[in-house]
Structures are given as C-alpha cells and as structure tokens.
C-alpha cells in the first residue's frame, strides 16, 4: 500500500483567516507528491511535495522563510531513504529557491551527509541552482515588528526572553514543512525550514540533523516540526521509528514520540508525521495547530486539516 503525508508546521496560527490557505497549501503539496508516488518513487514524491511547500510563501520554508536577528535567511533541509540509509542535508543555506533539492544532490553527488553555510551555497551553484532571494515583504514586515519589540524591551540577549516574545507572537513557532512517503518498496522522509524568527545567526535546528528532525529506515520514516532544540535533544525522528521497530504502527509511534516531547519539555513544543513500511500513516502534535494532508491507496481525495 502506497501512502504519503505532509505537514506545514506546528504551532499556533494566530490569524484564523489564514487556516483555509494553509489547508489548501498542504493539500496541493500532498497531491504533487501523490502524482510522483503513483509513478513509483517515494523519493521523487517527497521532493516534489516539499518543493510545493517551499514555493508557497505562507509556509516557513524556501520562499517565505523567516529571518534571523540580522534580517537574513538561513534555511535547513534534509532528505533520507529508508532502504539504503542514504541521506543528504543542508544547513544555513541561502540564495536558493528549493533547499530540499540541494539536500537531495548532497545525498546523490557527494560522500557527505550535511553541507552548511557558504559551502552549501557553493555546492548549490556547482549543481546549477540559480541565485534566488526567498525573502518576502510579509516576512520583512514581521521581522521589523519583532525586532522593534525586542529593542523596546531590551530583550536582545540571545533567546533568554524568547518565551515572552512567543506569547505575544505565537506564529513565530509555525515553522518547518515536511513529507514522508512509502512507495511499496521503501520509505523516504524529507523536511525543510527557514528556522525560527530572530534566531541567532548560524543557528541550526533539527531539520538537517539526521535522527533529530528527519529520519527514515526500513520500518518507517518521520519528519518533525516545532522547537528544533527539543527534537535534537530527544533524537525524536529516530526515536519515533524505533517505536515502530518495537511493534507500534505509525500512529501509535507518533503519539509516543510526542508524549516523550511533552514529558521532558512541556506542551506547545512539537509535532510529527510518519509513514511505516506497511503504508500506515501517523501524525500527532502537542501544539494548537499542525497543518497536514495525507492520501493513500483506497482514497479518492486527500484528507487535510490543522
């Protein structure tokens, strides 16, 4: 049984009128992946689904990525094949349209797993990816507002006051997009993000950390979203697949993974999507929202929601 699920980020969608646009975005993305999956490739399906999310400025990945403290874009992405454990990732990349596609090239064209910063950009140019500015007017406006708030309150020393900032601007946590697919032969997982608003320049989240925010093996695949530091500390994507190896299906494993995040780091921290090698789909969050869409054999239309 073939199956694919995507997510558009966990957190709080403060403006309720954005929800229909978010649902439409994840629905379009899962259909883009589904078309490739029906041709037989989970790898192509995950890449195309994530590219669709990266190209939609409502999501925090690719075009529309959030900005760092100094107003720049530093994006992360990763993709992993469960059958071979091949993986590729980029961290802190800028000046490209689709970081997920660069991550795939890292997997296929190098002996490495992660390329970062300027090296990742140089590699992208070598692979033919053209210069592209993913910043949008909306993100620049949000950055100005958030930076102004920080300067007015004096809360500019790293992230010590980020909790108060998040209470006033819960959308800063609505980060990361991802996809997981099973083509009947292997599971593939992919994740992409612009990170978190006003992050320290050079900060790397869980997305490109294999086992942290992205992981796939012969039994399952997972893509995480939320506070990256939580997923890294718990090796959450890998832990979720371990639950499948112990006998759980994708939904039970997703529930267990988010229970783990809640136990150690509290609510409003994480979400996860999964597919196992039997074609089961799972998704769980401990945040108010996590946009998702999935489709598998036997379904005529995707199921989507927040």
Q: Three-state SS for 115?
A: strand
Output the CA torsion sign for 83, 244, 51, 118: negative
Q: Is 190 marked as a binding-site residue?
A: no
Q: Three-state SS for 66?
A: coil
Contact 273, 49 (CB under 8 A): no
Q: Is 183 marked as a binding-site residue?
A: no
Q: Is 106 marked as a binding-site residue?
A: no
Q: Is 205 marked as a binding-site residue?
A: yes
CA proximity to 61, closest of 44, 47, 74? 74
176 catalytic per annotation: yes
Contact 73, 67 (CB under 8 A): yes
The DSSP bridge partners found for residue 210 are 214
Q: Among 176, 207, 269, 284, which one carries the catalytic annotation?
A: 176
Q: Is 203 marked as a binding-site residue?
A: yes
Q: Is 278 marked as a binding-site residue?
A: no
Output the CA torsion sign for 106, 112, 118, 122: negative
CA proximity to 3, closest of 199, 268, 265, 249? 249
Contact 295, 31 (CB under 8 A): yes
CA proximity to 178, closest of 212, 135, 203? 212
Q: Which residues are annotated as a binding site?
A: 203-206, 225-228
Q: Which residues are known catalytic residues?
A: 176
Q: Which residues are annotated as a binding site for substrate?
A: 203-206, 225-228
């Amino acid at each position: 049984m073939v199956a694919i699920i995507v997510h558009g980020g966990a957190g709080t969608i403060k403006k309720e009128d954005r929800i229909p646009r978010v649902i439409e975005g994840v629905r379009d993305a899962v259909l883009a992946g589904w078309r490739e999956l029906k041709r037989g490739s989970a790898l192509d399906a995950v890449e195309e689904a994530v590219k669709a999310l990266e190209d939609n400025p409502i999501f925090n990945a690719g075009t529309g990525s959030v900005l760092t403290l100094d107003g720049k874009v530093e994006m992360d992405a990763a993709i992993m094949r469960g059958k071979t454990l091949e993986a590729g990732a980029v961290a802190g990349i800028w000046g490209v349209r689709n970081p997920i596609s660069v991550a795939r090239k890292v997997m296929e064209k190098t002996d490495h797993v992660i390329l970062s910063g300027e090296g990742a950009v140089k590699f992208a140019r070598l692979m033919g990816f053209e210069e592209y500015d993913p910043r949008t007017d909306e993100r620049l406006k949000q950055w100005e507002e958030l930076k102004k708030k920080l300067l007015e309150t004096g809360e500019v020393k790293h992230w010590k006051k980020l909790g108060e900032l998040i209470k006033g601007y819960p959308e800063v946590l609505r980060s990361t997009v991802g996809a997981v697919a099973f083509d009947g032969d292997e599971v593939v997982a992919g994740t992409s993000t612009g990170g978190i608003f006003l992050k320290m320049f050079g900060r790397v989240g869980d997305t490109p950390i294999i086992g942290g925010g992205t992981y796939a093996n012969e039994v399952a695949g997972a893509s995480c979203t939320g506070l990256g530091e939580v997923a890294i500390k718990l090796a959450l994507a890998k832990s979720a697949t371990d639950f499948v190896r112990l006998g759980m299906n994708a939904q039970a494993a997703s529930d267990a993974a988010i229970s783990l995040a809640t136990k150690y780091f509290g609510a409003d921290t994480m979400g996860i999507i999964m597919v196992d090698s039997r074609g089961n789909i799972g998704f769980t969050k401990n945040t108010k929202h996590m946009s998702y869409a999935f489709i598998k054999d036997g379904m005529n239309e995707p199921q989507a929601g927040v």
